[in-house]
Each structure stands twice: as C-alpha cells, then as structure tokens.
Amino acid sequence: MSDPRTTPSIFTRGAVDLSALRPSAPARPAAPSTPAPTSDTPSPGAPGGLPGSVPGVSPETIIEVTEANFQSVLERSLQTPILLDFWADWCEPCKQLSPVLERLAGEYDGAWILGKVDVDSNPRLAQVFRVQGIPMVTAVIGGQPVEGFTGVLSEVQIRQYIDAVLKAAGVSVETPADPRIDAADDALMVGDLDAAEAAYKKILAESPADAAAEAGLAQVELYRRIQGADPAAVLAKAEANPDDVESQRLAADIEVLSGQAPEAYARLVRLVKRTTGDERDAVRKHLLSLFSVAGPDDPAVAGARRALASALF
C-alpha cells in the first residue's frame, strides 16, 4: 500500500474546502461526545451505529462526527489520525464494512480514531468530502484529508490501508495479530490438518504474499509426510541409502521437526548435486518447501539458498 498522501485520490480533483465547516469566530475545542439517539441519529445498537454496541472498544476510539463537532475532529487529527466512515442506515454494504472498521479500531488500541459520519444527517460533510457513493472511507491527518476508498474491501486490504495511513502520519505501532492466522495455527497445533490447510489456503487466496500463511501451509504438508514414520528408522534407512531420493527427503523432514534444519538443508543440497532431471527437480522443490516452513528471514535458510544456487549452477 502506497503512502496515501502522495497517491492519486478523490481529493486530486481539487482542494477540499473545509473552511465552510469552521466557525466564523474561534471556538473552544470541545471533546468528542456521544449525543443521545434521536430520530436522525442511529442508536448504538443500529448497523453502523456508535461504539456502545462494540464490546471491548473504548468510546474514545470510535466517535460520531457531525457538522457541529467537525472543527474539534480536525483539531484532534493533529495528534491522532482519524478515519472517517461515511455511511447511512439504508446502505446494505455499509453494514458489511462498518463492523470491520469498528473491530479494527479496537484492535489498534487508540493508534487511530474511527469517525462515523451519517451522510443523511450531515449532508454538508458529505458534500465537502465529495461523497459520490457509500460506504466511503477517508483519513484526516494533521487536519488535512488524504486518500480514501469507496465500497467494501476485504479485511486484508483495510488493514493495509490503515497501516499506510499510520505510516503517513508517522505513527509507529505494532501490527495487531491476524486472527485468521491465529485460528489456522490453533487448528495446526491440535492436529486438525484439514482445517488448518483450508484456513491457510483461504488466507493465501486473499493475500498471496502472506509469509505466515505460506509457512503454515508448508508445515501442514510436512506433518502429513511424516505421519506414522519412525524417526530412528527413517534416519537409519537414509544413512544406508544415500542416493535414495525418497529416504533422503523423509530424513530431511524428520531433521527439520527435530530442530536440525541446517542438517536437513545440507542433506538435500548434497542430494541435488548427485541427481539429475526429474529427481533433481523433486529434491529442489522439497528443499524449497522446507525453506517455507522456516520463513524467509531465517539465517539458515539464507545460507542454504546460496548453497542450493551453487549446486544448481
């Protein structure tokens, strides 16, 4: 995700004039408040409503933004980035997007604030921000609007957008754990390989470059390969048959699971040097799958990749 302050956006059609929403005389900044529900204001329990309906989310993390309090919202954005969620009670896609934004606002624990803007109750805000369709999300950093998006995005894309906004605002936060990875990892830990595989594949379908999901899927495949194997017998057979591809591959799997990954990598690199054609390619792919288990940042993987490249070329 690029820096939203430098990427073409809805605001490149012309400057957004926020002055019309500022009071004519200086006003004392008011703390954001949650007004009592009226016929024009969604109740906390309504779709797209206010944070009273979001368990565990601080009222200060999600606020109602109106034409009356918008000046204080701008001033607040000088300290904390604010994401504005333009919605309406009749908007069905809004009911898909808003709960995700509200949950993520809680996960990021105050690193940014979610401002809910009911376009029906605040037509001037919708006009100023040139809302042409809802749901629409945009951010305000340092009192200035930046790039936003219209429509419903996947949670992965929303997280990427939020992280880009925080980076643009100079906010350094630890990225919250991905609950999808946590659920997949839990399935793997209890031995439910089918559920873990399905979960990791679903993540990779949404985020093909997700290293954690790639590593998890590689672990599922590894556990499947060694099911029912006797480690001592596997290693003894590999020792007695140094050129037997299947024996060496299984021995490498056992070594990885035994905490001897460098030995496993070296075993397969030696085998690459001694094989040709389809056998060599099978060994190479097996070694790459073991690299995926460890992840790209493992120093042992970096060294083994160099050794593999040398063996191949």
94 is catalytic: yes
Asked if 220 and 196 count as a contact pair (C-beta separation under 8 A), the reply is yes
The catalytic residue among 91, 199, 220, 301 is: 91
Rounded to whole angstroms, how far apart are CA atoms 80 and 171? Answer: 8
Catalytic residue among 94, 104, 137, 294: 94
Burial 16-25, CB ≥16 within 10 A → b, else e: eebeebeeee
Q: Identify the CA nearest to 243 among candidates 222, 206, 271, 214.
A: 271
Contact indicator for 93, 64 with CB cutoff of 8 Å: no
Would residue 91 show up in a list of annotated catalytic residues for this protein?
A: yes
Q: For residues 89 and 143, what is the distance between their CA atoms, to the nearest angstrom? A: 27
Contact 227, 233 (CB under 8 A): no
Catalytic residues: 91, 94
